[in-house]
Amino acid sequence: MSGKYSREITVAGALVLLMVALAIFAPNFFELQPLLSRLTSQMPALVAAIGITLVIITRQIDISIGAQFSMCGVVAGIVAAAGMPLGVAVLAAVATGVAMGAFNGLLVAWLGLPSIVVTLATMVTWNELLRLWQQGRLMNLPAGFQWFGLNQASGQGIVIAVAVVLLLSAAWAMKNLAAGRYVYAVGTDAEAARLAGINPKWTTFGVFVLMGALAGTASVLNLVQSPQVQPNAGDGLELKVIAAAVVGGVAITGGRGNLWGVLLGLLLLANVNPALTHFHQPPYWERAIQGLVILLAVIADGLKRSKKTSAA
């Protein structure tokens, strides 16, 4: 058991050590309201991380997730600013994400194009469209949009609850539903999955569509926390969620990983920036640390595979 979950145990240990260091050297880090605010601010990334985890398990990648997140947020903001109900804005964001995910999935699953090339191209395309569309302008949201029209404490509770329900639902589905097993099968060996009666193309396409839907949902959870729409809200999100997935034990080569490890990875990485601030270190180290984490996780997976091959 310990070998199977060695990465998750390691990440959990690192998280505990970081919390202990903060408790000793920066005890004000654990003040209730700032802690709750930091937790709430990470919930959109958690929802996005669910999607990227499914994509990576199928042996694909989606680096356009940050651009999708930004685009969905802008669309939801425009709909809300036009006076539409909150529910319509949510549906618009999710539908936009589904459309972008379906476009990526069509090119990757049905045309057989490399996912890293496709999603790099769509990332640049969506970002440039946003830049031309919004010209960097911030858009004010209606008063009833922030925190779902409730007070901050209630709104934070809803954001956290939605993210947790999605995490629990996805974790249950990956373990208990045939569709979840298809994702692992395709990521492990697409040809073997095909011979077993699974359609790898539909599975891959469905994962990209779900990734888009989760990006749209995440954008709404982020949007309700601010009185304005920020067109660049998703900048750097792709690095953060991919790092959370791989450090949490999701194999970049596909076929292996679980959402509990991803949750631990996200919690660890989410506390890097506040820790740097409390330890009076420059915040720009955060992305360097995220990149280093991805590199170390990939190296660890490579060494693990080499050891298994040598043993075989």
Kindly list the domain boundaries of the chain, sorted by start residue. Answer: 34-235
Report yes or no: 51 and 173 within 8 Å, Cβ to Cβ. Answer: no
Structure tokens at 21: 């260091």
Q: What is the rounded CA–CA span in Å between residue 290 and residue 278?
A: 18
What was the pLDDT predicted at 118? Answer: 97
> Which residues contact residue 240 at a Cβ distance below 8 angstroms, ignoring those fewer than 6 apart?
45, 266, 269, 290
Check the CA dihedral 219-115-258-301 and report its sign. negative
Which stretches of the chain score pLDDT less than 70?
Answer: 1-5, 134, 136, 283-284, 301, 305, 308-312
Q: What is the rounded CA–CA span in Å between residue 254 and residue 263?
A: 18
CB neighbour burial string for 136-168, b if at least 16 within 10 angstroms, e if fewer: eeeeebbeebbbbeeeeeebbebbbebbeebbe
The answer, as to whether pTM is greater than 0.85, is yes
Structure tokens at 117: 């090339």
Residue type, 290: Q
Report yes or no: 190 and 125 within 8 Å, Cβ to Cβ. Answer: no
Q: What is the rounded CA–CA span in Å between residue 73 and residue 188?
A: 34
Q: What is the rounded CA–CA span in Å between residue 114 and residue 61?
A: 9
Please write the tens of the pLDDT for every residue from 187-198: 999 999 999 999
Region for residue 281 given its phi and psi (left: phi exceeds 0; alpha: psi -120 to 50; beta: otherwise): beta
Q: What is the rounded CA–CA span in Å between residue 221 and residue 251?
A: 28
Q: What share of the chain is helix, strand, coil (3-state, %, to 5)?
A: 75, 0, 20
Closest CA to 126 of 66, 38, 186, 215: 66
What was the pLDDT predicted at 1? Answer: 43
Residue type, 117: V
The CA distances from residue 265 to 57, 165, 246, 262, in Å, are: 16, 18, 8, 5
What was the pLDDT predicted at 3? Answer: 58
Q: What is the rounded CA–CA span in Å between residue 206 and residue 211?
A: 8
Structure tokens at 7: 């990465």
